[in-house]
Amino acid sequence: MKTVGIGIAGLGTVSQGVLNILKVQQALLAKRSNARYEVVRVVSRTAKPDVDLLGAEFSHRLEDLYEDPQVDVVMELIGGESPADQLIADALAAGKAVITANKAVLAVKGDQLLGKQSVQPIRFEAAVAGAIPILQAITAGLAGNAIHAVSGIINGTANYILTAMEQDGVSFGEALAAAQKLGYAEADPTFDVDGTDAAHKLTILMALAFDMSFALDQIYKEGIESLTAEDIAFAAEFGFRIKHIGMLRRVATGLEARVHPLLIPQSDLLAQVDGVQNAVQVSSDSAGTTLFSGPGAGGAATASAVIADLVALTRGGLGTNPTSTAHNAASSGMYVPLERANDLAVLPIDEVYGGYYLRMLVADQPGVIAKVAQALSNHGISIDKVIQRPAAGRTEQVDLVLLTHDALERDVNLALTELHGMFEVSGEVSRIRVAPVNT
């Protein structure tokens, strides 16, 4: 049986989960990969004496990981763009295989780090949707399919907040505070609530599912900060739930790549995914629609994906006996497109077509609905459904909430400008996109 030497960067949530699986599943892993795993080195900023390092040497210099000839695979589990980018590049250059859970570095520097080669000894299953083996599903399980669409709930914190707002009727701020108290949101939750984290993950999904570059700047992004419990309640009256969704969709004119809140029919599978759970739905030509769901975060769940990458690399040749090179394992690196499909244009959000939910505070006077309908109609937009309700705490205004038929986003923006200019409409019109059919 060969030995695989492991070097781990970081000693946080995911690293501790990895160490734990390597400890408790030693026999199972040996059987499944015909290898003995040895944690040779752990490098982190702060020592944690109470964590069992399984006999590894601890130090603070990241270079120690790839300078050690006993290390076959470097696990980058420190997070953030820098110095993670340098560590990954240096480890690959030193002939080590690399496993990373770091979506931020891949979304921004994926092309640079992975190069133009189709296969490198690098895997990053844990970077998208935690425990769910979605990258393996897309690159291997669905390899024989042309993929039409990938859409998913890929940030558990945002999904927890929306679920709490819906089920408990609380505000965004209250739900966020509860998420932080329960450890579901970081002290600085910016990337979770403003959509950046979901955009990082969608960039990786876009590269792998559509043979594209890792181009974070192509993804349109909106967060959940401005959603209200009222919007969630009105959406429910129309038969929808509001989810924060990452969506890639091939249409006749190109690829839609967007992250934003979305009204999804209550009966859709994605609408059933609550709390910190993640789910990704893939539509492809032969396999049809497949849905993958499970825990999107957490030490043990994320470590499960890291260990899956380790086993895949080992089965592909990683290990010190009889020959010791990561190149043996290169064929089991994650698939990255050899030729990037430059012909697939990512559409600007203005060119996206779909239904819209609009909520506005309007004067309680005869003829106002007709005026609003006219403003929409001036831009080719027609109304599908309307709810009018007395606005809480106001006697002279009502909430006017409507769903439009499919329209071009550019036209909706023009209509919103016109609505904002009407004296009967007070404040901002709230606008949320509605799920296109067959996402």
Binding site for ligand NAP (CB under 6 A): 10-15, 44-46, 62, 77-79, 83, 101-103, 126, 130, 297-298, 302
**Torsion angle, alpha carbons of 412, 413, 415, 421, to 10:** 160
Smallest gap from Cβ 160 to ligand NAP, in A, equals 13
Rg (CA), the chain: 24
Q: CA–CA separation, 308 vs 13, rounded Å?
A: 17
Query: Nearest-CB residue to ligand NAP?
Result: 12
Of the pair 75, 349, the CB lying nearest ligand NAP is at 75
Smallest gap from Cβ 123 to ligand NAP, in A, equals 13
290 and 1 Cβ atoms separated by less than 8 Å: no
Beta bridge partners of 243: 262
Q: Which amino acid is at 313?
A: L
Of the pair 280, 297, the CB lying nearest ligand NAP is at 297
Q: CA–CA separation, 8 vs 16, rounded Å?
A: 10
Of the pair 334, 358, the CB lying nearest ligand NAP is at 334
Q: CA–CA separation, 117 vs 115, rounded Å?
A: 6
Of the pair 126, 376, the CB lying nearest ligand NAP is at 126
**3 state DSSP class of 410:** helix
Smallest gap from Cβ 438 to ligand NAP, in A, equals 29
What spatial distance separates the first Cα and last Cα of the chain, rounded to whole Å? 47
Of the pair 46, 286, the CB lying nearest ligand NAP is at 46
Q: Which amino acid is at 287?
A: A
Q: Give the sign of the dihedral formed by CA 55, CA 328, CA 25, CA 32.
A: negative
Smallest gap from Cβ 294 to ligand NAP, in A, equals 12
Smallest gap from Cβ 11 to ligand NAP, in A, equals 4
| Active site (annotated) includes residue 2 | no
**What secondary structure letter does DSSP report for 396?**
S
Question: Which residues have a Cβ under 8 Å from the Cβ of 51 and sit 6 or more positions away?
Answer: 11, 16, 19
Q: Which of 249, 307, 294 is nearest to 33 (CA)?
A: 307
Smallest gap from Cβ 276 to ligand NAP, in A, equals 9
Question: Which residues have a Cβ under 8 Å from the Cβ of 385 and sit 6 or more positions away?
Answer: 238, 402, 403
Of the pair 305, 358, the CB lying nearest ligand NAP is at 305
Of the pair 84, 381, the CB lying nearest ligand NAP is at 84
Smallest gap from Cβ 17 to ligand NAP, in A, equals 8
Q: How far is CA 212 from CA 32, 285, 289, 342, in A?
A: 33, 19, 21, 7
Locus of tokens 């059933």: 272
Q: CA–CA separation, 230 vs 394, rounded Å?
A: 15
Smallest gap from Cβ 303 to ligand NAP, in A, equals 9
**388 Rama sector, left if φ>0, alpha if ψ -120 to 50, beta otherwise:** beta
Of the pair 11, 381, the CB lying nearest ligand NAP is at 11
Catalytic, out of 96, 103, 109, 201: 201
CA angle (331 as vertex; 135, 68 as ends), nearest 5: 100
Q: CA–CA separation, 221 vs 32, rounded Å?
A: 41
Catalytic residue numbers, as ranges: 201
